[in-house]
Amino acid sequence: MPRMPKRVKFRKEMRRGRDRKATKGNYVAFGDYGLQALEGVWLTARQIEAGRIAAQHFLKRRGKIYIRVFPDKPVSKKPLEQRMGKGKADVDYWAARVKPGTMLFEIAGVSEEDAKQTFARIAMKMPVRCRFVGRRLTV
């Protein structure tokens, strides 16, 4: 089931800019390896779900997948052939704001080779360029 918030404060939201780089959520925090977005995008709930299913079909019951993004942004869209105006349209889908550097998925409990293969399958479902990363230096 595509994800969405259970409760929201407001039904619709302004679009806002998306030209910044990630300053948080940009490192592997829970698992051993991660899939990192290299471009910014509004990642739809369907795309996240497609990635999760692709990973689960490959992994069967091995390892644990962490989904690091949540689609909490409502995106509205006017119907086809609708004239402009008459107020803001209904919510069409929910999206996660992804900035360049955002960690999308993490994985724990599998070998590096399996993690690479899993993320290759997830990356096929993502609308942005992604890269495979491990844990970073701890100080």
Among residues 80 and 137, whose Cβ is nearest to other proteins? 137
The three-state secondary structure class of 35 is strand
CA distance 40 to 136: 22
* Part in contact with other proteins (CB under 8 A); list of ranges 4-12, 77-85, 111-119, 122-130: 4-12
Among residues 43 and 102, whose Cβ is nearest to other proteins? 102
Buried b (16+ CB within 10 A) or exposed e, 72-99: ebbbeeeeeeeeeeeeeeebebbbbbbb
* Part in contact with other proteins (CB under 8 A); list of ranges 8-16, 76-84, 117-125: 8-16
Among residues 37 and 43, whose Cβ is nearest to other proteins? 37
Scanning residues 75 to 104, which ones bind other proteins (CB under 8 A)? 91, 99-101, 103
Q: Which strands, in side-by-side order, build the sheet including 130-134? A: 64-67, 103-108, 33-37, 130-134
- Positions that interact with other proteins (CB under 8 A): 1-2, 4-11, 21-23, 26-27, 30-31, 36, 38, 49, 53, 56, 61-64, 91, 99-101, 103, 108-109, 133, 135-139
